[in-house]
Structure 1
Amino acid sequence: MTHIEPVNLVIGMILFSQITVGVMGNFFLLYHYIFIYHTKSKLRCIDLILKHILIANSLFILSKGLPQTMVAFGLKNSLSDFVCKFFFYVERVGRGVSIGTICLLSIFQRITISPMNSCWKDLKIKAPKCIGFSIYLCWFVHMVVNFIFPLYLLYMSGRWSSRNITKERKIIFCTYTDPGTILGSIYIALVVFPEVACSVLMICASSSMVFNLYQHKKKVQHIHRTNVFSRSPESRATKSILFLVGTFVSFYSLSSLFNISIALFPEVYRRLVSISEIISVCFPTMSPFLLMSQDSSILRPCFVMLRNALPTYKK
């Protein structure tokens, strides 16, 4: 039996907890939106985007968390080359679609809350019609772009290699050989740059929404019921999205800092990678609960089901 270090056992338990809680949360919220679609035969544009974010988050949690958990529990040698490449590919697609759809969500909401007399007025009318196409285009682009990995992963092995190759690197459950500058540059151009660009767009759209809400608050200060706007569906949705985007940017920035530290301090590679993996799974695990906490209409059906399921006692 393989000896498991206490630190690895703790990491494995944390990752397993994240997988369990994250998948259950995302699937519950996904079921909520599917139920709405089948009962009302229509979803709001925001709900449609959120549904695809939940799917992408679920893929990311499973493809990222399962192999890492297996390695933490000493099962790293059971991962074949195909499984290694498959998990890595699904992880990249899930991560890319999640970032792309969150960016789309923040931009769409920024357009939605803009006044009709603003420069966004033309987009305000056209945006809802383009949401479905934009989401499926996002899935298609990331699935195609990440096919660069069949080339990139030709150098990847599911088992830890003992070969003495100077450019060999390890990513917890796989080992790959650096293919060179050209393919690495293509990878940065097609995968890393769009992620950074989406993050910047999210921050810009969110900052613009905050400014818009502040301007509106100033305009209604002379009205006694200054909380009228805060109770509107648009404002609630905007605050929920700002909360979601703010949480994403925080965890994404923290994960990026750890990745930079991994590159700068290879002597503490394993421990930093483990912490980075835990942080990277935090947002997709927390996001459904963030959304539920901001929208009481999601939690209400759950409480009703629980109340109906509990036995009633007659006095």
Structure 2
Amino acid sequence: MSSTDLVKAMVYFSQTLIGTLGNLFLLCHCFYLHFTKFQLSSTNLILKHLAVANSLVILFRGVPETMAALGLKDFLSDLGCKLVFYVHRIGRGVSIGNTCLLSVFQVITICPINSRWAKLKSRTHKYVRIFSILCWIFHMLLSIIVPFCVTDKWHHINITYQKEFGYCSSIHHKKSRTIMHTALLSLPDVLCVVLMLCTSSSMISILYRHNLRMQHMHMTNMTYRSSPETRATKTIILLVSTFVCFYSLSLIFHAFFIFYNNPNRLLVCTAAVVTGSYATVSPFLLMKHYPSISNLLDCIRKTKTCHIMRSI
């Protein structure tokens, strides 16, 4: 095994380990709040789905990439390749959908009382639960086309062109079909991105007007701190910005894969890292900035015998 392959394996393994632990901690925290009834909110429900989806994205891409970089060959059968790419695609779609749902929920939460969205505040928990379940079902059905486009490296020989990804191959008979499948899979993601940008713009506008109203309080009270809703809103705006950056890079790489039959292996590796970057980074952004999670972390730092840790 070359030094380059060893470096790639270390990068994949580090990303997989860090991302999995981050999402696992986020998931455990949400379940703790759920079972202790300390905080039953729509936000925690979204974060649970987001943590599970992110974990699927990381594990079902990071583990095979790490094994391939270590020099293992033919460790996935045709069925294994289809399953890996299918589950990875579902996790990616649900992750995008729940990030969008979190953004929409937050803009409803902080909207003024006289806003037309204010009447939805009391019913958001019911809507969030329904949309989260529908998101999983929708992406399970939409991603059915993925297994038909993926196989193991040595399964087919009579093909128009084949793109090798180290441990599996993407096979298509016509480039027009590839473009059609890509457009079909990308359309919901693009719509979610547009909706996230709109809600983020709305949140920025609401925060700006709020800061103008609170300007006098800032001047007269030096100990003033922003409300939990304001801090959560800023966190979600940061989360959406991070997602849009990584998603844009992922689209650029995917465009190369469509128009080039034999993509460079380094390009494939970089695309794999970029694909898992949002799922790896997002739980740490939430743990650092989201009020309930950051309070738990502060408690852990201050005392090793924290009651929350004993309960978990």
Paired residue secondary structure (2:74): helix
Report the alpha carbon displacement of residue 25 of structure 1 after superposing the two structures with TM. 1.1
Residue aligning to 2:280: 285
Residue aligning to 1:26: 23
* Unaligned segments of structure 2, at least 5 residues: 307-312
Q: 1:10 to 1:139 in 2, by over 3 A?
A: same
Paired residue secondary structure (1:62): helix
Residue aligning to 1:169: 163
Q: CA RMSD in A?
A: 2.5
Residue aligning to 1:90: 87
Identify the match of residue 205 of structure 1 among 199, 210, 220: 199
Report the alpha carbon displacement of residue 199 of structure 1 after superposing the two structures with TM. 1.0
Report the alpha carbon displacement of residue 301 of structure 1 after superposing the two structures with TM. 4.2
Residue aligning to 2:265: 270
Query: Could you tell me how far apart the structure 2 residues matched to 1:248 and 1:32 are?
Result: 22
Query: Could you tell me how far apart the structure 2 residues matched to 1:86 and 1:108 are?
Result: 32
1:105 aligns with 2:102: yes
Report the TM-score, using the length of structure 1 for normalisation.
0.87
Residue aligning to 2:134: 137
Residue aligning to 1:36: 33
Residue aligning to 2:71: 74
1:297 aligns with 2:295: yes
1:252 aligns with 2:243: no
Report the TM-score, using the length of structure 2 for normalisation.
0.88
* Code of the aligned partner of 1:204: C
Report the alpha carbon displacement of residue 267 of structure 1 after superposing the two structures with TM. 6.1
* Code of the aligned partner of 1:253: S
1:214 aligns with 2:208: yes
Structure 1 window deviating more from structure 2 (163-172 vs 78-87): it is 163-172
Structure 1 window deviating more from structure 2 (119-128 vs 260-269): it is 260-269
Report the alpha carbon displacement of residue 42 of structure 1 after superposing the two structures with TM. 4.9
Report the alpha carbon displacement of residue 246 of structure 1 after superposing the two structures with TM. 1.3
Report the alpha carbon displacement of residue 231 of structure 1 after superposing the two structures with TM. 2.3
Paired residue secondary structure (1:117): coil
Residue identity over aligned pairs, in percent, reads 42
> How is 1:121-200 mapped onto 2 (pairs within 5 angstroms)?
121-150=118-147, 152-153=148-149, 156-160=150-154, 163=157, 165-180=159-174, 183-184=177-178, 187-200=181-194
* Unaligned segments of structure 1, at least 5 residues: 309-315
